[in-house]
Amino acid sequence: MLEGTIKRAGLEDIFEKILSGERLSREDGLRLFESRDLLTLGRLARMVRERLHGRKVYYVINRHLNYTNICQNRCRFCAYWRAPGDPEGYVISPEEAVRRLSEGPPPREIHIVGGVNPELPYEYYLELLSAVKEAFPEAHIKAFTCVEIDHLSRISGKSVEEVLKDLVAAGLSCIPGGGAEVFSHRVRERLFPEKIPAERWLEIAKIAHRLGISSNATMLYGHIETYEERVDHLLRLREVQDETRGFLCFIPLPFLPQKTALSGEVSPTTGFEDLKMIAISRLLLDNIPHIKAYWVFLGVKLSQLALQFGADDLHGTVVEEKISEASGGREAKALSRAEIERLVREAGFEPVERDAFYQPVN
Ligand code: V47
Ligand code: SF4
């Protein structure tokens, strides 16, 4: 049955490679993106995810904190940033951060990211981490993307290694995957020329991994990037991962155009494209253990379906997330443990509550 559909999709050679555990090439990646046989892509990706994780789907009791929306990078795809001096700009003090994070069930993972704010001193970041760690000693803090870490290195005059060591001493456990966007130089020049180059993002991830700090990786898709550029992004991550083994999870982020400078030019992604992206991520990234369906951006219903297309991580309960809110996202801002478990069980999988390092808890 499977062989028949694979043959009709013209993907027999790729199927053979996947069966024998052989790595897919750049050309294979492109052919997968050009295929419209979504169910076949899903079946292939599900085969791989089952080999890696059986029927398990991971989630974490977590909270998000976006500590400032003031940002000097002015990315065209982002509706969240405000210029320094803008009355809508904000900075959350360490005390206020602790107060906000204390509402609701105690989080096991705390996700902290913000804009590149030229007004904040280096000490602010360390104080923020220390205050949060002191208030939640049991939680893992996943904070500051490679973009923010580059900024911290600049404002402190310290090397990336020294900055990372300071952050770990203040309470950092691991690094979130944001800021990678698309590694294509063409796209970066057009949409976010102020952001650090792809090479710097990858270099900082490698430095973190060498120090034993795990990180995630993202890709922002569904704007002006081509399929070639998507494949290239995935293969560059795969190459770094061969070297360091430090990436825990890959998160494809669908571009949410509403309220951004691109809203008139770019339509939102479709469910078809979102599921294809999840499946191909699973197939090309043979060395990154987890693929996340980030329900805050994808929507809860599509994220549930993504579990049948190669995703094994539903992220978490999430309370407070400002990026999707600023981009007109209409999703609920929180799911309960019971709701997540129902979504997972109904799709035929087994929910596993995890910590930031994918260790089962409870
Ligand atoms: O880097 C900004 C993206 C990212 C928009 O590591 C947008 O577990 C879509 O990285 N439409 C931040 N995306 C979010 C992020 C993340 C989320 C969840 C889990 C993890 C993890 C990481 O959001 C930014 C940027 O790529 N973004 N604006 C937009 N309009
Ligand atoms: Fe700033 Fe990040 Fe938004 Fe770019 S995506 S403008 S770096 S907050």
Residue 97 CA, distance from chain mean position? 22
CA of 72 to the centre of ligand 1 (A): 17
pTM of the model as a whole: 0.97
Atom of ligand 1 nearest to the CA of 176: 6
Residue range 148-167: average pLDDT? 98
pLDDT of res. 103:
87
Query: What single letter denotes the amino acid at residue 134?
Result: E
Atom of ligand 2 nearest to the CA of 72: 1
Task: Say if residue 285's pLDDT is above 80.
Answer: yes
Confidence bin at 52 (pLDDT 50/70/90): very high
Among protein residues, the one whose CA lies closest to atom 2 of ligand 2: 115
Task: Say if residue 17's pLDDT is above 70.
Answer: yes
Q: Where are the alpha helices (DSSP H) in the chain?
A: 2-8, 12-19, 26-34, 38-53, 94-101, 122-135, 146-156, 160-170, 185-191, 198-210, 227-244, 271-284, 295-298, 300-306, 322-326, 337-346
Residue range 248-267: average pLDDT? 96
The domain total for the chain is: 1
The CATH number for 285's domain is 3.20.20.70
Confidence bin at 1 (pLDDT 50/70/90): low
Range of the domain at 94: 2-353
Residue 193 lies in a domain: yes
List the end-to-end C-alpha distance of the chain, in Å, as a whole number.
40
Residue 358 lies in a domain: no
Whether ligand 1 lies within 6 angstroms of the CB of 97 is answered as no
Confidence bin at 9 (pLDDT 50/70/90): confident
pLDDT of res. 324:
79
Query: What single letter denotes the amino acid at residue 160?
Result: V
Atom of ligand 1 nearest to the CA of 258: 30
pLDDT tens-digit series, residues 21-31 = 999 999 999 99
pLDDT tens-digit series, residues 296-353 = 999 999 999 999 999 999 999 987 778 777 877 766 688 999 999 999 999 999 999 9
Residue 14 lies in a domain: yes
Residue 362 lies in a domain: no
Mutate to test the pocket of ligand 1, among 187, 218, 267, 318 (most ligand atoms within 8 A of CB): 218
Confidence bin at 6 (pLDDT 50/70/90): confident
Residue 360 lies in a domain: no
Distance CA 198, CA 352 (A): 34
Whether ligand 2 lies within 6 angstroms of the CB of 81 is answered as yes
Residue 359 lies in a domain: no
CA of 193 to the centre of ligand 2 (A): 11
